């Protein structure tokens, strides 16, 4: 890989449209490519890519590998791996980045092993240092510590956490090249087959897109407040309800509610944490939250260290009073 | 022939330890716990779930042999034995001073792949989705690649059906049912359910079992070259700028009202 060049983003698309994760990755990738002074490419895989390749150019890509194959119809990781391994070997990018999506965390590390290189996992920041190496900052020990790691082998790879960059402003007049790729995948590469996908429907907005989130933890004492007080406050503010892992583990709410290291990463303008202690593994999902408000009866709870406003008190008293006060202000 | 299941287990610092007890060695890039606190390490929580998943396969009526496998520089035997006393059959520890401080997934995966080849034949490898120390979530995936077998990561249910492993994989808004032929690697998440407590009978049985210990030389592994260099390890500083809103006479209802006003003033509501 002596002639390795450029940055390659692994982009996801569905229904002919670029996924939000790919737009964020392009913002990260653009910075990396500009520091290297080299082009930014994106690989988009699917059976029918629709307008996604053009969109990728508008969001910062110089070149789009439009990889289409009937086997790529479903996001089957092994099919992605086969196509991406071939593309990476042919194009020799210097840097490859993927997003921390269910597909990215599966495909990224396995691609690294196939290419016999290293990968920095779950990164918050990535940059190119003075030695032209990819350097990444990533949380470890459940978010209690941070490490800075440098990639020593080519291609230098990272999986980047969602909501760590704003997409670049869409510019439809940017020019770029679309390179169609037909990998002619052998369907037998897919050994682990998805038999069915069950979506647990959530009402209203997606957590990942919500501007206001009202979140509950173990301190709520049971499942009911999620459906009652928290939902009432969220509805009043046009927001959605989420939870800490503790509440999911006890079985009060489904996994789709979970914010944190092993749950969702969110980036609301306002995050109201009720009865949540603020363990670092929960805070790991909140690096993009702009304003955190904590309501907790324990004045020493870590959540207060991470919040802009805090009320020390029992949620049973504070939340209904807050709902009423906000109603009166409206 | 029983189904050979390998449950991957890692000894980690107790994640419940408050960060104030952490002692960071920035030179060696290691996290240690204040020795005066005398806090024992634990089995990584997701790995206990891996052992639980293996035991549930046995309870579903399959004839299984469960081997617990770990690699590290040193082990606290009583801590590791929990995996046996939960109900596993055997334990193999790859123990070598050269593994001190290793946090590179490439190296760990290579060592564990070497051990699994020595253990073979294997049918199913079950691991936790990630370890609570370095949170890398890469070793099981790497293992699958090095062994050339399929991998189903982050699952909440693991079953054997007609010689295939069938899992429910956790996705952001639901789950997928994924099936793969054996041999295969799967990783499990906490959604699988609480790992069981060891029974007295199993504790007694485990006390009599002696883990088998291998060195890197036994596996023929000499190359521990890493792919990443750790440049720094630190505890991020948190500036606490929280405005604590108090109600008159510590009245929580009054505090809530003042909070609403502050949220309005700052245009957050």
ipTM: 0.93
User: What pLDDT was estimated at residue A202?
Assistant: 64
Which of A120, A291, A306 lies nearest to residue B268, judging by beta carbons? A291
> In this predicted structure, what is the pLDDT of residue B18?
83
Please confirm whether the linkage preceding A97 is cis (ω < 30° from 0). no
**Taking CB atoms and an 8 Å limit, are B137 and A122 in contact across chains?**
yes
Residue of B nearest to A233 (CA): B269
- At residue B19, the pLDDT reads 84
- pLDDT, position A248: 92
Q: In what order do the strands lie in the sheet with B228-234?
A: A125-128, A134-140, A145-151, B228-234
Closest CA to B143 of B1, B7, B27: B7
E strand intervals along chain A: 7-11, 13-14, 17-18, 40-46, 63-68, 95-99, 119-123, 125-128, 134-140, 145-151, 156-160, 177-181, 193-199, 212-216, 240-243, 270-274, 291-296, 309-312
CB-nearest partner of A191 from B104, B180, B236: B180
A207-329 belongs to CATH 3.90.580.10 = no
Can you give the residue ranges of every domain in chain A? 7-189, 207-329
| pLDDT reported for residue A1 | 44
Asked whether the predicted pLDDT for residue B52 surpasses 70, the reply is yes
Query: Is-cis flag, bond preceding A306, omega within 30?
Result: no
Q: Which pLDDT does position B242 carry in this prediction?
A: 93
The residue ranges of chain A whose pLDDT is under 50 are 1
Give residue A2's pLDDT. 52
Quick: pLDDT tens for B204-236. 999 999 999 999 999 999 989 999 999 999 998
- B146 contacts in chain A (CB < 8 Å): 113
A318–B256 CB contact, under 8 Å? yes
User: For position B240, what pLDDT does the model report?
Assistant: 72
CB–CB of A193 and B180 under 8 A? yes
Phi, psi of A99 (to 5 degrees): -100, 155
Q: Which residues of A touch B132 (CB under 8 A)?
A: 141-142
- In total, chain B counts a number of residues equal to 269
Chain B residues whose beta carbon lies within 8 Å of the beta carbon of residue A322: 256-257, 259-260
Selection from A249, A260, A163, A143 nearest residue B135 by Cα: A143
Q: Is B134 on the interface with A (CB under 8 A)?
A: yes
Instruction: Please give, rounded to a whole number of angstroms, the shortest distance from the CA of A198 to a CA of chain B.
Output: 5
pLDDT in tens, A304-321: 999 999 999 999 999 999
Summarised one tens digit per residue, pLDDT across range A184-204 is 999 999 999 999 999 876 667
Q: Minimal Cα–Cα distance from A186 to chain B, Å?
A: 16
Determine the topology of domain B3-219 in CATH.
Rossmann fold (3.40.50)
Q: What is the CATH number of domain A7-189?
A: 3.40.50.620
Instruction: Looking at the complex, report in whole angstroms how far the Cα of residue B256 sits from the nearest Cα belonging to chain A.
Output: 5
Closest CB to B229 among A152, A308, A313? A152
B246 and A CB contact within 8 Å: yes
Chain-centre distance for alpha carbon B169: 17
Place of tokens 């793969």: B180
Residues of chain B found within 8 Å of residue A310, distances taken between Cβ atoms:
242-245
Is B66's pLDDT higher than 50? Answer: yes
Average pLDDT over residues B176-196: 96
Nearest CB among A255, A308, A313 relative to B191 is that of A255
Cβ <8 Å between B242 and A310 = yes
The pLDDT of B158-175, averaged and rounded, is: 94
pLDDT at B236: 86
- Which residue of A109, A159, A302, A330 to mutate against B (max B Cβ within 10 Å)? A109
| pLDDT of B173 above 90 | no
d(CA A326, CA B248): 19
Measured CA distances, B141 to A21, A95, A152, B118, B147 (Å)? 22, 20, 20, 19, 10
């Amino acid at each position: 890989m002596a002639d390795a060049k450029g940055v390659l983003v692994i982009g996801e698309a569905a229904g002919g449209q670029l996924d939000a994760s790919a737009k964020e990755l392009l913002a990260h990738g653009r910075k990396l490519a500009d520091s290297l002074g080299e082009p930014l490419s994106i690989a988009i895989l699917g059976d029918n890519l629709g307008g996604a390749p053009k969109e990728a150019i508008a969001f910062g890509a110089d070149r789009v590998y439009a990889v289409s194959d009937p086997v790529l119809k479903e996001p089957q990781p092994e099919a992605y791996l086969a196509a991406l391994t071939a593309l990476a070997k042919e194009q020799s990018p210097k840097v490859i980045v993927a997003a921390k999506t269910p597909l990215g965390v599966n495909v990224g590390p396995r691609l690294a092993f196939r290419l016999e290189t290293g990968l920095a996992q779950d990164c918050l920041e990535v940059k190119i240092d003075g030695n032209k190496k990819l350097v990444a900052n990533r949380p470890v020990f459940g978010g209690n510590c941070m490490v800075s790691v440098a990639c020593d082998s080519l291609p230098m790879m990272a999986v980047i956490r969602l909501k760590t960059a704003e997409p670049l402003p869409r510019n439809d007049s940017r020019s770029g090249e679309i390179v169609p790729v037909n990998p002619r995948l052998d369907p037998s590469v897919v050994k682990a087959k998805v038999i069915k996908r069950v979506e647990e429907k959530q009402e209203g907005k997606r957590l990942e897109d919500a501007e206001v989130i009202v979140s509950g933890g173990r301190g709520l004492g049971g499942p009911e407040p999620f459906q009652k007080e928290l939902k009432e406050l969220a509805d009043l503010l046009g927001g959605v309800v989420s939870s800490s892992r503790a509440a999911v583990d006890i079985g009060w709410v489904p996994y789709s509610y979970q914010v944190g290291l092993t749950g969702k990463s969110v980036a609301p303008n306002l995050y109201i944490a009720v009865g949540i202690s603020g363990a670092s593994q929960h805070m790991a999902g909140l690096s993009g939250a702009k304003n955190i408000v904590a309501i907790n009866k324990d004045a020493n709870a870590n959540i207060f260290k991470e919040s802009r406003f805090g009320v020390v008190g029992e949620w049973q008293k504070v939340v209904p009073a807050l709902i009423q006060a906000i109603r009166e202000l409206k | 022939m029983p189904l050979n299941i390998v449950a991957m287990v890692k000894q980690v610092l107790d994640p419940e330890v408050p960060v104030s007890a952490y002692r960071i060695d920035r030179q060696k890039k290691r996290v240690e716990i204040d020795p005066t606190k005398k806090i024992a390490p634990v089995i990584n929580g997701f790995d206990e779930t891996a052992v639980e998943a293996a035991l549930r396969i046995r309870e579903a009526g399959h004839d299984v042999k469960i081997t617990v496998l770990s690699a590290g520089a040193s082990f606290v035997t009583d801590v590791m034995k929990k995996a046996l006393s939960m109900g596993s059959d055997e334990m193999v520890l790859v123990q070598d001073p050269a593994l001190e401080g290793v946090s590179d997934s490439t190296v760990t995966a290579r060592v564990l792949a070497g051990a699994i080849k020595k253990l073979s034949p294997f049918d199913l490898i079950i691991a936790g989705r990630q370890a609570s120390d370095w949170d890398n979530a890469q070793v099981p995936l790497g293992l699958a690649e090095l062994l050339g077998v399929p991998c189903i990561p982050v699952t909440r249910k693991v079953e054997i059906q007609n010689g295939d492993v069938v899992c429910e994989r956790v996705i952001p808004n639901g789950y997928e049912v994924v099936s793969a032929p054996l041999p295969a690697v799967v990783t499990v998440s906490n959604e699988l359910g609480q790992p069981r407590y060891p029974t007295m009978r199993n504790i007694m049985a485990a006390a009599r079992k002696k883990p088998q210990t291998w060195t890197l030389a036994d596996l023929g592994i000499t190359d521990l070259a890493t792919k990443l260099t750790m440049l720094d390890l630190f505890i991020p500083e948190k500036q606490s700028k929280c405005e604590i809103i108090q109600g008159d006479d510590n009245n929580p209802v009054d505090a809530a009202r003042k909070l609403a006003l502050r949220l309005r003033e700052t245009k957050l509501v």
